[in-house]
Structure 1
Amino acid sequence: MHIDWFILFAQIVNFLILVFLLKHFLFGRIIQAMDRREEEIKSRWDESERMRHEAQQTAHECDLRSQSLSDQAQEMLNKARKAAEEEKELLISKARNEVDQAQHRWYQTLLMERKTFLESLRRRSGLYVYETVRKVLTDLADSELEDRIVQSFLNRISSLDDDTLRPFHQTRKAKGVTIVIRSAFTLSPEHKDRIGKTVQEHMKVSFPIRYEVSPQIISGIELMLGGHKLSWSIDDYLEDLEEKFSQTLKEELPSPPLS
């Protein structure tokens, strides 16, 4: 086989020229376009990564802010609940105190009314008993009720023991002392004479005696000497009635409110 080297060489040269031309006018532009496209894609990728990073950062910041707001909201809610609970306790305590005070005032008022009622009952009972006894004694005998009261008072003086008389004996050396005799009725001269003799004989004291009428003494007589008192009256017999009646009322009353 005969090879024409000139033609072969010319074809090689033409091929190289073609390659050069293709590279310069076609492949070069294609490569440049591909490079530009690659740069553009890379730039967009970088931009998207930057934006993604910024988005993540923003999302993280939003999460932090949201958590902070949530914590603040929870803290405010807790404070509001605590304040509401404290206000509730304060109102309950205030209401309880007001109720306790109202109960205390009511109880004190009830006690005062009971005391007033007992005093009224005591006086009325005494007067009623006095009148009843007067009528009974009048029907049974000719002696007056005052005589019986005076005699009962004298009997009481006569029956005193030394321990009871000791406070009265201690006033013997005192000066300017007066024996005061109070009675619910006016004593007759005979009554006064009997009382004076009995006092001197059994109490062993000699002081001037002043007689007074005191309606507060219910059907009785009392002796005052140096701050010491000796008495006899229907009032003494009413004390048991009053005590029993008071106990009955006490059982009906509620217990006093605790302060």
Structure 2
Amino acid sequence: MERFREIIYQAVENGQKIFSKMSFNPPLSQDVHTKNLLPLLANGEAYILLRPKTQVALQLAKRKVVGKGSTVLTTHRIVFIKDQNEDFKKVFSSLSVPYSHLEHPLFVQPLLLTNHFKFTVYSDRNGAHPFESEGVFKLLFVSGGAQVFLNMFYKFYARYRNNPALMTSSNPMSDLRDDNCAFVDPSDPSHLYFTQPETTQIHDPNSTNHTQTNSTNQQQTNQSQNNQSEGNVTGQTEEGNARTAGEPQGDSGTGHLMNQIGKCSSLFRIGR
């Protein structure tokens, strides 16, 4: 482990890109077609697979965090993303564990419990929301098999350990064509990325609030303009009503005059 850390530090000094940020709530993106949430990739990183129906349990020094969701395997790290429900933003929504801070991976098959994959994670202060201590990470496969996930993990984990400054191609699965086998587990829901998906970045909640504030201000401005227009229309309507109310007064005066003329005519006829 010490030798591996020396290699990482040497790579950092040489200016090479290292995927070493281990933290809660890493930046996310979304597949524009499937709408699945995915981690936002760094330069030289690529998606390997998406494994739904998983559960995570991270035991730290003073607390334990758990969640249900999907696990994304990339060429440089494991990222767990919770299901998008009422618990999505409780405590955490996702967590990222790069291969550089992952040790002693082990797949466990208990007799009466859920098959799970566990390893030790080391603390890191480079992320936006880092783990506060070392801990034990357990990835439980709630439904279906885990063979595809394990095969891909060990292949790319070994590649990264041998070359911490690994910069992968846009299609890392093309390098594994010779390793393909005919056996397929029908119970395994893993989705392999033979081509990289088209994604769009999910904006930061603060910028979302800023957008909502601007939208609210715009709505208030539009509402004020609408109220002003309604006031002008109301004033014009009242003025029209006043003119209309004045017109019947002229008609009533004319009618009164005609009545007087009628009376005079009647008197004239009676006099004759």
Larger Rg: 1
Identify which of structures 1 and 2 has the higher relative contact order when contacts are C-alpha pairs closer than 8 Å and 6+ apart: 2
TM-score by length of 1: 0.29
| Higher percent of residues as strand | 2
